[in-house]
Amino acid sequence: MTKSRIIGTGSNAPERVLDNHYFAERMDTSDEWIVQRTGIRERRMAEVGQKWSDFMLPACNKALEDAGIEASELDMIVVGTQTADTMMPSGGCTLQSLLGAKNAAAFDVTAACSGFIYGLNVADRFIKADPSMKVLVVGGEQISQRIDWDNRNTAVLFGDGGGAAVLVASDSEERGILATTMGSNGDLGHLLHVPGGGSAKPRRSDDYDQVLETIHMDGRSIFKNALKAMESACVKVLCDCGVTKEDISLVIPHQANLRIIEGLAGRLDIDMDRVFVNVERYGNTSAGTIPLALDEALRGGRISEGDLVLLTVFGGGLTWGAVLIKW
């Protein structure tokens, strides 16, 4: 069966850098606590007046340039985000217009942090069904919009940024996406959610408070669920392909917390030198973490032709997934 393959990537983030001291000056936290508990040292945050598409459009253009194709050649744009410029049109349609991708169907997938991995799954299935398709998969957030700046439990964790990848049918039977898996558990949705702004708590209600539109998280429970779900997703794609952990060249896990990443590496019994980490510079960019890390890994020479690369993610929903790629 046809395999899909990533032929170009790009990433970007707003220029404004906020280090941990910025937060320590404004709330009851410290650089030491944030580094020890999360590994995060700084993150990027959009300026007031800056929009999601202002930094996501350059990421898409870089991916197209890297792939050597024109926007007009795209058949589909799939975007993982919850923080696009507008609720409607979707982030996909906004990017389609800005890119001039007039032949592409464009839409968003709402899977929180897992949006890019869910998007890769969608692209892979469409390309298998129609190998002539060229698909741009995007993941990125302006998550600073969803932060409660008075809550130290969440404010220090997140950052803005993201990336994109161009997928086409592989010209080889060996190279490309080998296996994918996705999972969800809506029963535990309340552990990581934005309670307001939807039909359950509409803005029009009398008791509406803006804080309802910020991220609410039970950090400890999410930590445990993230480890368990990413481990089983990784094991599933490895088993599906008869691949062992020794064969893996690089794991690119969701960048939410260095302790989760190290815990996952331990459970998979993979040394940290085969695990990509950039959480210290970006924090958790939600759907942006995987494409940002993938692009940095490629540009940093961490991935070569023939390498087996394992992507895995976990996020609100709850949602999770993994993708195994032979580069």
* Residue positions annotated with a catalytic role: 113, 254, 284
C-alpha 262: how far from its chain's center? 18
Q: What's the CA gap between 82 and 139, in Å, rounded?
A: 10
Rule CB under 6 A: choose which of 29, 50, 61, 232 binds ligand UT7: 29
Compute the least distance from the CB of residue 111 to ligand UT7, in Å.
11
Buried-exposed string 177-192: b where 16+ CB fall within 10 A, e elsewhere: bbbbbbbbeeebeebb
Compute the least distance from the CB of residue 57 to ligand UT7, in Å.
24
**327 binds ligand UT7 per the rule CB under 6 A:** no
Which residue lies nearer to ligand UT7 by CB, 4 or 154?
A: 154
Compute the least distance from the CB of residue 33 to ligand UT7, in Å.
4
**196-235 binders of ligand UT7 (CB under 6 A):** 219-220, 222-223, 226
**152 binds ligand UT7 per the rule CB under 6 A:** yes
Which region among 56-64, 166-174, 197-205, 252-260 touches ligand UT7 (by CB under 6 A)?
Answer: 252-260
**260 binds ligand UT7 per the rule CB under 6 A:** yes
CA 171, 99, 95 angle in degrees (round to 5)?
A: 100
One-letter amino acid at 165 equals A
Which residue lies nearer to ligand UT7 by CB, 153 or 249?
A: 153
**74-103 binders of ligand UT7 (CB under 6 A):** none
Rule CB under 6 A: choose which of 71, 156, 165, 279 binds ligand UT7: 156
**37 binds ligand UT7 per the rule CB under 6 A:** yes
**189 binds ligand UT7 per the rule CB under 6 A:** no
**257 binds ligand UT7 per the rule CB under 6 A:** yes
**33 binds ligand UT7 per the rule CB under 6 A:** yes
Tokens of 205: 């209600």
> Applying CB under 6 A, which residues contact ligand UT7?
29, 33-34, 37-38, 113, 152-153, 156, 192, 219-220, 222-223, 226, 256-257, 260, 284, 286, 314-315
